[in-house]
Amino acid sequence: MSVVRQQRLFSLAGPDQQPLLIDKPTGMTSHDVVDEVRRLTGQSKVGHAGTLDPLATGLLIVLVGRQQTKRQPEFTKLDKEYLVTASLGVETDSYDIDGTVLVTVPSQRLAAVNVTDIERCLRQFRGEIDQQVPPFSAVKRGGTKLYELARRGRLDLAALPVRRVTIYRLELVSFRQSRLDTQFSLKVKCSSGTYVRSLVHHTGQCLGVGAIVTSLRRTAIGPYRLSQACSLEELARR
């Protein structure tokens, strides 16, 4: 890529501009996105505000240049919005479809679950709550990330850290039962630091059948909307 093209891309996200809003594809880590923006802009000082798991897609705020990266805490603390789809009848160690299966539930038990049951469970997670973080997360204990302890088998799952978070909106938008699967989708608006995987996991526990995230899309961060974002491919064509 030419220096002129790199300079033009950097000007789109310079200190006098808004941060880059990227629609992260599934399969990439947030750090992968940062590396790609670093390559496209030629800037070494690039960061992001609000990690998305590799499974997740959607809005990622990317900060380019020293002036923007200094503002990272300002962007990180903004509220987040998500659309999440979950499957009932299974639990994994990571609380999502990428994890190792720990528990499965017979289909006849799933057939008894209905919309009223889900709404009843969701009520207890609205507002300010104490949320247990997932075992596979970057939260640290004794200076070591939880997912590193989990991979070594040195994490006590009964004593996971708890965070005080706020769930401003938790709306059931769909519920689908079939012979092969039972799924539901939620719209979530929450404070920074909330784990949607934990919301789904604890909803599954409340229902007594387990639940895992199968897709997660971040649709907003504070005033920034996914509709304003571009893909990495679109960024490269600018």
Judge whether 3-78+222-237 and 80-220 match in fold. yes
Give the pair of three-digit tokens for residue 227: 């509709």
Burial of 178 (0-12, 13-18, 19+ CB in 10 A): exposed
Which position among 16, 23, 35, 53 bears the catalytic label? Answer: 53
Domain spanning 80-220, CATH architecture: 2-Layer Sandwich (3.30)
Q: Could you tell me the residue ranges of all domains in the chain?
A: 3-78+222-237, 80-220
Is the domain 3-78+222-237 a CATH 1.20.1250.20 member? no
pLDDT tens, per residue, the chain with 238 residues: 444 444 445 445 554 568 999 999 999 999 999 999 999 989 999 999 998 989 999 999 999 999 999 999 999 999 999 999 999 999 998 899 998 899 999 988 999 999 999 999 999 999 999 998 887 666 656 666 665 655 666 555 656 778 999 999 999 999 999 988 999 999 999 999 999 999 999 999 999 999 999 999 999 999 999 999 999 999 998 7
Q: How far apart are the C-alpha atoms of 103 and 110, rounded to whole Å?
A: 13
35 is catalytic: no
E-strand spans in 133-235?
Answer: 140-141, 144-145, 162-177, 182-190, 211-221, 224-225
CA 2 to chain CA centroid, Å, is 34
Q: Which residues contact 51 (CB under 8 A, 6 or more apart)?
A: 30, 138
